Amino acid sequence: MAASIQRTAREELRALQSERLRETVRHAYENVPFYRERLEEAGIGPDDVDGIDDIQNLPFTTKEDFRDEYPDGLFAVDDDELLRIHASSGTTGKPKIVAYTESDLELWDEVMARSLAAAGIEPGETFQNAYGYGLFTGGLGFHGGAEERGLTVVPTGSGNTQRQVELARDLESDAIGCTPSYALYFAETAAGMGVDPRELPLSTVLYGAEPCTEPMREEIENRLGATGIENYGLSELIGPGVAVECHEAQDGMHVWEDHFYPEVVDPRTGEPLPEGEEGELVLTSLSKEALPVLRYRTGDLTTLTAEKCDCGRTMVRMDSVTGRADDLLIVRGVNLYPSQIEDVVLEFDEIAPHYRIDLYRENALDRMELTVELVEGFDGDREALREAIGERLHNALSFTPDELELVEHGAIERTEVGKVKRVYDHR
Ligand SMILES: [Zn+2]
């Protein structure tokens, strides 16, 4: 079932999605006062959903709703049916609390095992899980799926990187799961210990939880001599395990849409966009018990394609997230995402994959300082390089930072635990 559903005909998949959407709306309506109220406001009863196309009539759920309903206002089952609680890190305010029944945890294991299989990680291989354990869904989400897949799990969690390098070498880890910034930090730490990261047995880096551009993927692959596979998920839906690249094509992440229905909408109007257009990803859970989620506005910008993939899977693919709607930088009226700057800067072989963006306001004017790091041992003409980067940014983005600073290798702070921070808005 698990293998065939990934390659099922689109019409069959839609029939399954329709059935599951009906059940999910009924479950939410009957058991969550918040959803009952929202649906009634929209004039929708549990019998008004016939098929998956009706999803466009349903109201959205937002991260503010999660905060307003803190801690358990969105739960759809009694407390004694809950086996697990997680929480998503909020930079400000209360965390979003999420919960799982036994069946939800089985579902999670299944979609994670599927993700590991799509990444090309075979039963019997050793998986070093460097995602953070604890309330964050990354660690335990990967852990359960890796066991389900029949892998040997090394549950290192994040941090303690010298130890991680030793374990990867001594236990011959075949794959590591971590954030993209941590993969680079891991490679640097290994090199600093006199261990060539390319000589480590790692053949797959399963990265996620942060946006990652294509040039950044190349850096990870080159430094570790491994295949980089991106995965996507979010606690509000389940955690990791919503979408993953297949190792056959490495060309967009297959969304496990028998359980998570994706749409892309205009972030301003909320109107659905045609396939292939970039907009905000909206996700609906189709089989969750404890926390059914209708049309969740993820804030992540991406595109979807239903074109058949080389791997034979028929499930739609989403592009790497170009940015969160929240990450949009508006600098002197120009809209920019940090990922666009990353794309340009990493085209230069002289530049290491580390940068920071500082924003200030001086005399009512925005001011951006971009700091980029030189590769180890750079001894070329800095001024010429600086000019070339400035010119390239200007051509690609019609934007030039007010100050562009080149710093020595290692000068930009690394992130060993948690998500990388590259933008510092002092305005
Ligand atoms: Zn594929």
CATH 3.30.300.30 domain position(s) in the chain: 328-425
Q: What is the pLDDT of residue 93?
A: 72
Q: What is the pLDDT of residue 387?
A: 96
Domain 1-322, what fold? Rossmann fold (3.40.50)
Distance 305 CA to ligand 1 centre (A): 11
Distance 306 CA to ligand 1 centre (A): 11
Distance 402 CA to ligand 1 centre (A): 42
Distance 339 CA to ligand 1 centre (A): 24
Q: What is the pLDDT of residue 3?
A: 57
Distance 250 CA to ligand 1 centre (A): 7
Distance 232 CA to ligand 1 centre (A): 15
Distance 394 CA to ligand 1 centre (A): 35
181: tokens are 């910034």
Distance 247 CA to ligand 1 centre (A): 7
Residues 328-425, CATH architecture: 2-Layer Sandwich (3.30)
Distance 422 CA to ligand 1 centre (A): 31
Distance 310 CA to ligand 1 centre (A): 6
Q: In a structure prediction context, what are the per-residue pLDDT tens digits for the chain, which is 427 residues long? A: 455 899 999 999 999 999 999 999 999 999 999 999 999 999 999 999 999 999 999 999 999 999 999 999 999 999 999 999 999 876 567 889 999 999 999 999 999 999 999 999 999 999 999 999 999 999 999 999 999 999 999 999 999 999 999 999 999 999 999 999 999 999 999 999 999 999 999 999 999 988 899 999 999 999 999 999 999 999 999 999 999 999 999 999 999 999 999 999 998 899 999 999 999 999 999 999 999 999 999 999 999 999 999 999 999 999 999 877 778 888 888 888 898 899 999 999 999 999 999 999 988 889 999 999 999 999 999 999 999 999 999 999 888 899 999 999 999 999 888 888 899 999 9
CATH 3.40.50.12780 domain position(s) in the chain: 1-322
Distance 245 CA to ligand 1 centre (A): 7
Global pTM reads 0.89
Distance 79 CA to ligand 1 centre (A): 39
Distance 256 CA to ligand 1 centre (A): 12
Distance 102 CA to ligand 1 centre (A): 30
Distance 185 CA to ligand 1 centre (A): 29
